[in-house]
Chain A
Amino acid sequence: MAVETGQSVAPAAGGDARGRGRGTGEKSKEAPGPLRRALATHWYAWAMVAPVVIVIGVIIGYPLVRGIWLSLTDADEANVARTIGVNEIEATYEFTGLENYTAILTDSVFWDRLGWTVLWTVGCVSVTFLLGLVLATMLNRKLRGRAVYRIAIILPWGIPAFVSVFAWQMLFNEKNGILNRILEGGGIDAVPWLGDPTWAKISVIAVNVWLGVPFMLVALLGALQAIPSELLEAAEVDGANAWQRFRNVTLPGIRSVSSTVVLLSTIWTFNMFPVIYLLTRGGPGDSTEILVTYAYRLSFLNSPRDFATSAAWGVLILLLLMLFAVFYRRSLRKQGEVW
């Protein structure tokens, strides 16, 4: 694709130069300097990207800068600028340098939450990916009722996540939920799905996997179907067995899609707010609190609201994600991906 678009620029440039030449003067038509010619070309592109650049600058860039600034202050509920009725109250918070960061990084809370967040992300992504791959391979075969299976398995994707989380909360209900009723029928004691730290962790991961498998399945199924069957046939003719075909033809064939969906899914899971917030509220205690839900708790659930520390958590989360993305991309490059 890159090559094609690259080539298409040349005629576009010629066209632009001519188009503008008519308006501005004959000289530029005959011998446009490289600079002017470049300007003439890029003027269109720049005009077309302008709306997004402005929007990003105003509603993402400005809050981002402000967020970083807040993280360097002692802002909280009591001293930020706000409007109460007709009275406007000036902000009175002060610059405190890196105090918030040193406080966070020397406190074990952050490291505990980071440890669980990493476990949560790795657990969710790996289980989701494996399940998605297994189901995609199964669905990639000719079998009766394939369309029905497919629709049923991707159903969780079609339901807003917060609705599904409430459904799960009902199933997990410790006293009356159907899961415990079924276990009871089998003579097994009730499981405190959301009441015990370890079980709560397993439960939130299970729900997130349930939510994430459809996307994985669909993306991987698409990738599997895009592998030319000639390749598999050729491997077969060469005497490769099923495992060897899977290992040496199928897996390389889905590599680029896999790396993309794993990256996306890692970022989504790392930032997954609704599952934990709605299912356990981070509890019991703060055992299932991941970084984003904890940052949210600091500024919106705790009292007094601590905006500065929350902003500092936000900055740290962003740094972690960017580090991850850079390393991920680098490792892909080493393996020869052009991404």
Chain B
Amino acid sequence: MTTMNTTETTTATTTPDPATTAPVPPAGGGRRGRVRGRGERGPLASVALHAGLLTAALAAVFPPFWLLVTSFKPKTETFTTSLVQNFTLENYTHVLGETYFLTWFWNSVVVVVMTTLLGVFISATTGYAVSRFRFPGMRPLMWTLLITQMFPMAILIVPLYNLMAQLGLLNQPVGLIITYLTIAVPFCAWMMKGFFDTIPVSIDESGRVDGLNPFGTFWRLILPLAKPGLAVTGFYSFVTAWAEVAYASAFMTGEENLTLAGGLQTFVNQYVGDWGSMTAAAVIIAVPAAIVFGIAQRHLVAGLTSGAVKS
């Protein structure tokens, strides 16, 4: 947090306390500002810092921003460089009223919600077992979980496609749900292990002292404590499935069967270029995801790093 300091914090400090270290920013900053002396950044460096971050922020925000702006333009002005001149919602009314968009949205929701629920539900116990017990077969299992996460879809897509074709599950949400479980389960189990690792073992022990067996400990004590972890894992598999393109494009054909990833491609492809509808649809897809992401991102980050690093 406070490894470096800029002029703002240095000037804000009046009475540095030598006993205080990092946690209190003004005191820490002031103290180090004085110690550092020659290393102190001048206003020029501060400007450079802000300029760099501003450039990065603009580059990050511009494409989605431009998508939003374009979605409010009439179709004839899609590619004008100016901001909205003739504000219109016609793209949205067209997308919602005259295309299959709502069907696609519903298809996506069904597939993704089912995938998330099943994935998290199945994986939680495994995460716990791998986190708490040493048992024969644990290392191979861990390796399997890790390796299956890096399975390219290229190796599973053909056999899964043939399998679904044989079972008559192409163009069915069920087929896509089963397919997405191949992505969600290894990942969720691995993430849940990371979360359970952060819950002190002493809680398990106290549970056992009170006479609970390992299942009881897991179900009554640990799972409630792991709720944030469950939420984050669920959210992450939600987002992954929401944004999946390859399986969805290959398995779902026919306009009324598509999910959002496939549907968006029908607006703009090598044959048609309905950019207005595409932007409106894209905004409707992105806004809920971005909001949920904004709420969850802090936990997501903590979970991701703890899950990944404490392997």
Contact A46 B137, CB 8 Å, known A219-B305, A273-B245: yes
A187 interface contact, C-beta 8 A: no
State A156–B243 Cα separation when bound (angstroms): 13
Interface 9-mer from A9-17, A100-108, A119-127: A9-17
**Which listed residue (A170, A213, A299) contacts B70, Cβ 8 A?**
A170
State A6–B132 Cα separation when bound (angstroms): 8
> Quick one: CB contact mask for B256-298 with A, threshold 8 Å, 1 for yes?
0000110011001010000100110010011001100110010
Question: Is A210 a contact of B60 with CB atoms below 8 Å?
Answer: yes
> Quick one: CB contact mask for A18-42 with B, threshold 8 Å, 1 for yes?
0100000000000000000010011
Residues on B with C-beta less than 8 A from A307 are: 158, 161-162
Contact A159 B286, CB 8 Å, known A59-B178, A167-B67, A296-B246: yes
Nearest-neighbor residue (CB-CB) of A295 within chain B = B154
State A181–B201 Cα separation when bound (angstroms): 60
Question: Is A59 a contact of B302 with CB atoms below 8 Å?
Answer: no
The residues in A between 224 and 283 inclusive whose CB is less than 8 angstroms from any CB of B are 224-225, 227, 229-230, 232-233, 236-237, 241-242, 250, 256-257, 260-261, 264, 267, 270-271, 273-274, 277-278, 281
Nearest-neighbor residue (CB-CB) of A148 within chain B = B57
Residues on B with C-beta less than 8 A from A142 are: 2, 4-6, 8-9, 25, 29
Interface 9-mer from B44-52, B84-92, B96-104, B225-233: B44-52
Question: Is A83 a contact of B165 with CB atoms below 8 Å?
Answer: yes
Contact A178 B81, CB 8 Å, known A53-B141, A160-B286: yes
Question: Is A160 a contact of B126 with CB atoms below 8 Å?
Answer: no
Residues on A with C-beta less than 8 A from B3 are: 140-141, 224, 227, 229, 232, 250
Closest Cβ of chain B to A337, distance in Å, is 11
Closest Cβ of chain B to A208, distance in Å, is 13
A164 interface contact, C-beta 8 A: yes
Nearest-neighbor residue (CB-CB) of A266 within chain B = B150
Contact A291 B154, CB 8 Å, known A49-B141, A170-B67, A170-B275: yes
Question: Is B126 a contact of A260 with CB atoms below 8 Å?
Answer: no
Residues on A with C-beta less than 8 A from B189 are: 52
**Which listed residue (A7, A75, A166, A299) contacts B268, Cβ 8 A?**
A166
State A184–B195 Cα separation when bound (angstroms): 52
Nearest-neighbor residue (CB-CB) of A51 within chain B = B122
Closest Cβ of chain B to A274, distance in Å, is 4
B304 interface contact, C-beta 8 A: yes
A191 interface contact, C-beta 8 A: no
> Quick one: CB contact mask for A35-67 with B, threshold 8 Å, 1 for yes?
000100110111011011101100110011011
Residues on A with C-beta less than 8 A from B163 are: 63, 66
Nearest-neighbor residue (CB-CB) of B122 within chain A = A51
Question: Is A160 a contact of B32 with CB atoms below 8 Å?
Answer: no
Closest Cβ of chain A to B35, distance in Å, is 7
Residues on B with C-beta less than 8 A from A188 are: none
Question: Is A257 a contact of B157 with CB atoms below 8 Å?
Answer: no
The residues in A between 159 and 206 inclusive whose CB is less than 8 angstroms from any CB of B are 159-164, 166-171, 173, 176-178, 181-182
A95 interface contact, C-beta 8 A: no
State A9–B133 Cα separation when bound (angstroms): 6
Residues on B with C-beta less than 8 A from A163 are: 64, 67, 243, 264, 282, 285-286
Question: Is B275 a contact of A153 with CB atoms below 8 Å?
Answer: no
Question: Is B182 a contact of A152 with CB atoms below 8 Å?
Answer: no
Closest Cβ of chain A to B285, distance in Å, is 6
Q: Number of residues in A with C-beta < 8 Å to the partner?
A: 126
B166 interface contact, C-beta 8 A: yes
Question: Is B130 a contact of A60 with CB atoms below 8 Å?
Answer: no
Residues on B with C-beta less than 8 A from A160 are: 239, 242-243, 260-261, 285-286, 289
Question: Is B39 a contact of A242 with CB atoms below 8 Å?
Answer: yes
State A137–B156 Cα separation when bound (angstroms): 40
State A45–B138 Cα separation when bound (angstroms): 9
B114 interface contact, C-beta 8 A: no
State A51–B128 Cα separation when bound (angstroms): 13
The residues in A between 61 and 112 inclusive whose CB is less than 8 angstroms from any CB of B are 63-64, 66-67, 70, 75, 80-83
B136 interface contact, C-beta 8 A: yes
Contact A67 B32, CB 8 Å, known A12-B208, A153-B56, A296-B250: no
Question: Is A144 a contact of B67 with CB atoms below 8 Å?
Answer: no
Contact A141 B5, CB 8 Å, known A170-B66, A170-B67, A170-B275: yes
Residues on B with C-beta less than 8 A from A44 are: 129, 133, 213-215
State A38–B135 Cα separation when bound (angstroms): 9
Subset of 29 A-B contacts with CB under 8 Å:
A5-B134, A6-B134, A12-B132, A19-B213, A52-B125, A70-B159, A82-B162, A139-B53, A140-B4, A142-B29, A143-B46, A154-B297, A155-B60, A158-B294, A160-B285, A162-B261, A162-B264, A166-B282, A169-B268, A170-B66, A218-B297, A219-B301, A273-B245, A274-B243, A274-B246, A291-B152, A299-B161, A307-B161, A310-B154
The 10 closest A-B pairs by CB, nearest first: A158-B293, A314-B155, A176-B79, A152-B57, A48-B129, A160-B243, A229-B22, A295-B154, A45-B135, A63-B159
A residues in contact (CB < 8 Å) with B: 1, 4-9, 11-12, 15-16, 19, 38, 41-42, 44-46, 48-49, 51-53, 55-56, 59-60, 63-64, 66-67, 70, 75, 80-83, 131, 134-135, 138-145, 148-149, 151-164, 166-171, 173, 176-178, 181-182, 210, 213-214, 218-219, 222-225, 227, 229-230, 232-233, 236-237, 241-242, 250, 256-257, 260-261, 264, 267, 270-271, 273-274, 277-278, 281, 291-292, 295-296, 299-300, 307, 310-311, 313-315, 317-318, 321-322, 325, 339
Given contacts A56-B186, A166-B67, A169-B268, 9 further A-B contacts (CB under 8 A): A12-B133, A16-B213, A44-B213, A64-B151, A141-B5, A143-B53, A153-B53, A250-B3, A314-B156
